[in-house]
Amino acid sequence: MQLETGHKKEFSTLIARSGAGKTALAYVLVKINDKPAIIVDDAMQFKHDLVMDFTELVAAFNDKDFKESFYKYKKTIVLRLNGVTADDFFKLIMSSKNFHDLLIFVDEIDMVLNTAKVNNSHGFYTFVNKGRHKDLDLITTCRNTANIPKPLIGQTDYFYFSDLIEKGALEFVEETLKGLGVSELIKDLEEYQFLKVDVNNKEMEVLKTDIKWLDYFK
């Protein structure tokens, strides 16, 4: 199984039903990436990394020593928004010089964003379209294809699909990734398997995730 990542600026979108192991796979992708990371986790699943709220995050990155250590040792921060909007978070990331050359992981992106309100003035829209200029990578997870933020679809470099079962999912795949025959491969996936699709190179690979990865969330 090839899980290399971090060799270039990249956006990865993981789509899988609940219980398929998408959050565990995404966390592995975070840990093997060669950049420091911020995990946006309002569901409070991540407990073993440094946890901050929004105010603490801003204060920490205004501290020179903390900021230098974060980038030098490629640390991971778990962020609890606690009522702060995703719009405010992504606007901070894009407007502040303190944030650059790092990975953002948003678990359950549709729930965090409220995707119905993502327009061209939203911080996430700016991030998706201009974040690469600050060497910002992105990993997101989502339970179904209907809730993927539209600005993200066309900017995704890697899709990871499990055995999608919701209505309209395979149609979404065929429309988004025309001519690759992705939907037929998805139908053959077994439990805890993901199909990785490299959009730019039109390459596909079946990944078998490890059930032990789920131990982190116990």
Radius of gyration in angstroms for the set of CA atoms belonging to the chain, rounded to a whole number: 17
User: For 47-101, how does the pLDDT look when each residue is reduced to its tens digit (9 = 90+)?
Assistant: 777 999 999 999 999 999 999 999 999 999 999 999 899 999 999 999 999 999 9
Q: What is the pLDDT of residue 9?
A: 66
User: Between the CA of residue 63 and those of 48, 59, 180, 212, what are the distances in Å?
Assistant: 23, 7, 48, 37
First-last CA distance in the chain: 25
Tens-digit pLDDT string for the chain (218 aa): 444 444 456 999 999 988 888 998 999 999 888 899 999 998 888 877 799 999 999 999 999 999 999 999 999 999 999 989 999 999 999 999 999 999 999 999 988 987 667 888 999 999 999 998 999 999 999 988 888 888 899 999 999 999 877 778 888 898 999 888 898 899 899 888 999 999 999 999 998 877 666 666 55
Quote the pLDDT of residue 97.
96
Tokens 């901050």 — which residue?
52
Domains defined along the chain, listed by start: 11-150+172-217 (3.40.50.300)
Q: How many C-beta neighbours within 10 Å does residue 137 have?
A: 25
What pLDDT was estimated at residue 6? Answer: 44
pLDDT of 78 = 95
Plot region of 135 (φ>0 → left; ψ -120 to 50 → alpha; else → beta): left
Tokens matching residue 5 = 């990542």
* pLDDT for the residue numbered 36: 96
Task: Please report the pLDDT score of residue 106 as a whole number.
Answer: 96
pLDDT at 218: 52
Strand partners, 194: 207
